[in-house]
Structure 1
Amino acid sequence: MFVHLSDIHFGQEKMGGQRVVNEDARKQLIKDAAAVVSGLPSGRASGIIVTGDIAFAGKRHEYEAAGKWLDELALRVGCSAADIQMVPGNHDIDRDKIKGLTAMMLDAIYDEGEARLDSFLEDETSRDVLYHRFTEYRRFADAYQCPLDCAGQSSAERRVDLVEGRAIRFVRLNSALICTQGRNEHGSLLLGARQRVMTPADGEELVVLTHHPLNWYADSADATRFLRGRARVFISGHEHLAAVDVQNVEGGCDLMMLAAGATTPDKIDGAYTYAYNIIEFDWDEAEDALSVTLHPRAWCDEMKRFEADDVRLNGRDRRTVLGAPSFRKAPRPPKLEVIEGVTDTEQPHVEIILSQEQDVTAHEQVDESEYQNLYLRFFRDLPEGDRLRILVELDAVPGEIAGGFNHETEGRLFRTVARGNRIDELREKVETALARREQQSREE
């Protein structure tokens, strides 16, 4: 079970009454999500999904505010903050960085198309320029182990086992890859071939997360073909209008298109309001298919609270069974044993799919959840100076790179310390640094 948010827009409201109203709606969302989740069979969420526009202008202080709010939401719905996954939206770009060479490159991509995008992605220096707009988003998302792949490919993924031999895998796409000022019209964005090509494994169905709906892409026709043939659920945001549609692709194969409402829309009227989803994924044993149960929630202005959004379902049952060809390609799981009076509330296993170099728990006896939470606190909540000081104190920094740090270097050194059976030392130093910062904040 996942809480699904989109278009939170931290930093959108500067001062005044609208800021107070938005903050109240976000508090009510946490209260509502906690109540709904606790009333469902599992009683707690497996994670939180954010389909873009976490910030409004891609600034660090906006992500700091978002992190505190997401921490509280995760706590109240029963998952860890490290169980949050995200993709960027157009508002997660720092538009102040779109100038000079960056602006020239983006204009060239719009004018010349995918061939020009590919040429830039082949060159390391060009990639650095292209992704410079995402600096603060990358810092924030990397801490949740949701990095952007700066070669223009889909990002590291998460797999959720539903039962033995049946799983879903979340695929995260960056639809804001070429977003720029004044040139973000329908049909003008690009995913690029590196992101469009996605391949499920037998016994595994894909749930694709992105910010922009398909009609915003210049390469939407080819992207749609890949989705119809290889994915079961496509979740997007951006348009602030919540909707759900199920398409029958062919016999025994369906695709659910889920458009998120905005957690914090830029305007509130008869069409737009605060909205979010709670989504349950399960295996349908009778059909050997993917079951998706949707609990859409929307703001009731009459009562100033969130309620079930039955209008969005338009008479559709909350639970939809999707024909799942990748499930049927694998051996059928053993028959589930049902014991009368016993409810199975065990949480599904969620696995972050990392490269061999990134995977710490595969090398040493490190608790996965503890490592993920420590990684989050280290990279999200500590400034660069504190992080460097901790790594130096743990003798993790070779002298020749002490002056040339970047996030990739820090990540590698952090993992080296954790693999060396020193995670207790690492945790102690992180907690000390966080306590020191909290004390300084109080004194100020």
Structure 2
Amino acid sequence: MLLLHLSDIHFRKGEVGTAMDPNAHLRNELLLDAVAQCQKIGATPEAVLVSGDIAFGGDVDEYAYALDWLDKLCTQCGTTLSAVFTIPGNHDVVRNIAGRRLIQALHHDIKSASVAALDGVLRGLLSDPETLRLLYESIGPYNTFAGQFFCDLLPPERTIAHRDLVLNDGSILRVSGFNSAFVSSAADKAGDLFVDPACTQLIRERGVEHLVMCHHPYNWLRQGDVLRDFLNDVARIHLFGHEHTNRIEMGQDWVRIAASAAHPDRTEPGWEPGYNLIELSVDGQDGERKLNIRSHVRVWQQRPGEFRAKTHRGSDFFGQSIRLDAWTSPQPSQAPAAPTAPSVAVAADEPIKPEAARSDPMDTLRDISVRFFKLTLSQKSAIAGKLNLLEEEDANQPDFERFRRVFVRARDRGLVGDLDREIKEVAAKGR
């Protein structure tokens, strides 16, 4: 499995798409390098992980540009836009909303809570319909963007974005994206941001390995020490952004990667744009399984300008093997006696892929969702209404939540094919 990891792209309104965009050349070089590296590795990315700060100021136009560029990146790397998985960063927060007096009062209540009371305060605020709306209002444009990838966030039940990917032995890599920006504003400082209590409730399961993403590193979080100790026990890979400095730490049971910024400010000391490619494979079986991790850190050098590998003891990747818990792949299901479709011959020496432990319930919907979100609001509403996929209870929900419910209902009612057909017909008429 290959993962492409980006962070802190900072698409900035007034710059991106203009003749004087200071990062146009750099973005193009990153795209060219990513394509070349995928070809060199011999794999296409299973997921494109963006650990926050997609936008610079949380503006809808910034997300529109981000969508076009990510689409181009995914296509040229051999995958699709549905591979994108995102979390919010502090630049995805609309600052003039987060700075409102009532929201700042809520931030103050959280920041002034004692260590013992903090989880209770957060649970209370994120369970109350009015306060949860206020705390998440500032990432409204982000949620609209992230909704097409089913990475949108809405307390109290959906404060973490999840996606399951299938490793080569049929076990699951569970990607969990945290929101460390819901108490973010112009007043941010190290040690004064938060994650919600759900982030310390990931559970270990046989046949499931965890990869976690959080925009802010541990030193920026009030619960940073507690979160780090917890994740060291349950998660194999930890990805961060925000500080614009690439760094890899390898423990016995985990690998922690702090990403370079794809677009750091050129006035920053040690300006060093970059991104990461992460190869994963499982060797062995039953009680002798190991997760092999190869982290390719790509950094920008000047004179001559090009992306190159950050090296480790003469190697152009950072490698680690982590012993995994015992797990046996389920036996393949028995084929039906009378297949309804022609059988396909399999070469005798062709390996049979192990059956997955479980599959992501949104997998079949993600490609359709990306196409759906390219339609206008009126077109999306008309399709949902035609298929009776909107309910009265949706009326007061934000658009991203209403349309998420449309997809869940289509899946549950066996209408995914109908929804797909309607989307294609409307899109075709718009050409």
| Secondary structure at 2:112 match in 1 | helix
1:229 to 219, 230, 233: 233
Shift of 1:33: 0.7
User: 1:197·1:226 contact (CA, 8 Å) conserved in 2?
Assistant: no
- Seen in structure 2, the aligned counterparts of structure 1 residues 76 and 204 have a Cα distance that, compared at 3 Å, is same
Structure 2 distance, partners of 1:372, 1:347, is 23
User: 2:309·2:317 contact (CA, 8 Å) conserved in 1?
Assistant: no
| Correspondence for 1:38 | 39
> Could you tell me the TM-score, scaled by structure 1's length?
0.82
Structure 2 distance, partners of 1:350, 1:241, is 36
Amino acid at match of 2:44: R
Are residue 132 (structure 1) and residue 137 (structure 2) matched?
A: yes
- Seen in structure 2, the aligned counterparts of structure 1 residues 345 and 73 have a Cα distance that, compared at 3 Å, is farther
User: 1:278·1:296 contact (CA, 8 Å) conserved in 2?
Assistant: yes
- Seen in structure 2, the aligned counterparts of structure 1 residues 199 and 419 have a Cα distance that, compared at 3 Å, is closer
Are residue 328 (structure 1) and residue 325 (structure 2) matched?
A: yes
Shift of 1:348: 11
Structure 1 distance, partners of 2:26, 2:254, is 32
- Seen in structure 2, the aligned counterparts of structure 1 residues 19 and 232 have a Cα distance that, compared at 3 Å, is farther
Q: Higher mean Cα deviation, 138-147 or 61-70?
A: 138-147
Shift of 1:227: 1.3
User: 1:289·1:321 contact (CA, 8 Å) conserved in 2?
Assistant: no
> Could you tell me the TM-score, scaled by structure 2's length?
0.84
Structure 2 counterparts to residues 356-435 of structure 1, below 5 A = 368-369=363-364, 371-379=365-373, 381-397=374-390, 400=392, 404=396, 406=398, 407-417=400-410, 420=413, 422-435=415-428
Are residue 54 (structure 1) and residue 54 (structure 2) matched?
A: yes
| Correspondence for 2:284 | 285
CA-atom RMSD, angstroms? 3.1
Structure 1 distance, partners of 2:50, 2:109, is 30
| Correspondence for 2:343 | none
- Seen in structure 2, the aligned counterparts of structure 1 residues 23 and 157 have a Cα distance that, compared at 3 Å, is same
Shift of 1:209: 0.8
Are residue 199 (structure 1) and residue 200 (structure 2) matched?
A: no
- Seen in structure 2, the aligned counterparts of structure 1 residues 14 and 246 have a Cα distance that, compared at 3 Å, is same
- Seen in structure 2, the aligned counterparts of structure 1 residues 302 and 225 have a Cα distance that, compared at 3 Å, is same
Structure 2 distance, partners of 1:374, 1:2, is 22
Shift of 1:180: 1.7
| Secondary structure at 2:139 match in 1 | helix
Shift of 1:116: 3.0
Structure 1 distance, partners of 2:264, 2:14, is 11
| Correspondence for 1:339 | none
| Correspondence for 2:65 | 65
Structure 2 counterparts to residues 44-193 of structure 1, below 5 A = 44-98=44-98, 99-112=100-113, 114=118, 115-151=120-156, 154-164=159-169, 166-182=171-187, 184-193=188-197
Shift of 1:95: 1.0
Structure 2 distance, partners of 1:216, 1:405, is 32
User: 1:46·1:348 contact (CA, 8 Å) conserved in 2?
Assistant: no
Q: Summarize deviations over 1:63-93 as a string: whole Å, max 9, x none.
A: 1100011111111111121111111100111
Structure 1 distance, partners of 2:302, 2:87, is 29
Q: Summarize deviations over 1:1-57 as a string: whole Å, max 9, x none.
A: 01110000011663899953301211221111111101213x322120000000111
Structure 2 distance, partners of 1:146, 1:48, is 13
Structure 1 distance, partners of 2:20, 2:353, is 39
- Seen in structure 2, the aligned counterparts of structure 1 residues 352 and 71 have a Cα distance that, compared at 3 Å, is farther
Segments of 4+ moved more than 6 angstroms? 15-18, 342-352
Shift of 1:236: 0.2
User: 2:92·2:139 contact (CA, 8 Å) conserved in 1?
Assistant: yes
- Seen in structure 2, the aligned counterparts of structure 1 residues 198 and 394 have a Cα distance that, compared at 3 Å, is closer
- Seen in structure 2, the aligned counterparts of structure 1 residues 185 and 344 have a Cα distance that, compared at 3 Å, is farther
- Seen in structure 2, the aligned counterparts of structure 1 residues 266 and 118 have a Cα distance that, compared at 3 Å, is same
Q: Summarize deviations over 1:350-374 as a string: whole Å, max 9, x none.
A: 97745xxxx5xxxxxxxx44x3111
Structure 2 distance, partners of 1:71, 1:152, is 29
User: 1:281·1:292 contact (CA, 8 Å) conserved in 2?
Assistant: yes
| Secondary structure at 1:122 match in 2 | coil
User: 1:160·1:349 contact (CA, 8 Å) conserved in 2?
Assistant: no
| Secondary structure at 2:15 match in 1 | coil
- Seen in structure 2, the aligned counterparts of structure 1 residues 344 and 133 have a Cα distance that, compared at 3 Å, is farther
Count of residue correspondences:
405
- Seen in structure 2, the aligned counterparts of structure 1 residues 89 and 352 have a Cα distance that, compared at 3 Å, is farther
Shift of 1:409: 3.2
User: 1:292·1:322 contact (CA, 8 Å) conserved in 2?
Assistant: yes
- Seen in structure 2, the aligned counterparts of structure 1 residues 47 and 270 have a Cα distance that, compared at 3 Å, is same
Q: Sequence identity, in percent?
A: 26
- Seen in structure 2, the aligned counterparts of structure 1 residues 78 and 229 have a Cα distance that, compared at 3 Å, is same
Shift of 1:108: 1.8
Structure 1 unaligned segments of length 5 or more: list them: 249-253, 335-341, 360-367, 440-444
Q: Higher mean Cα deviation, 104-113 or 235-244?
A: 104-113
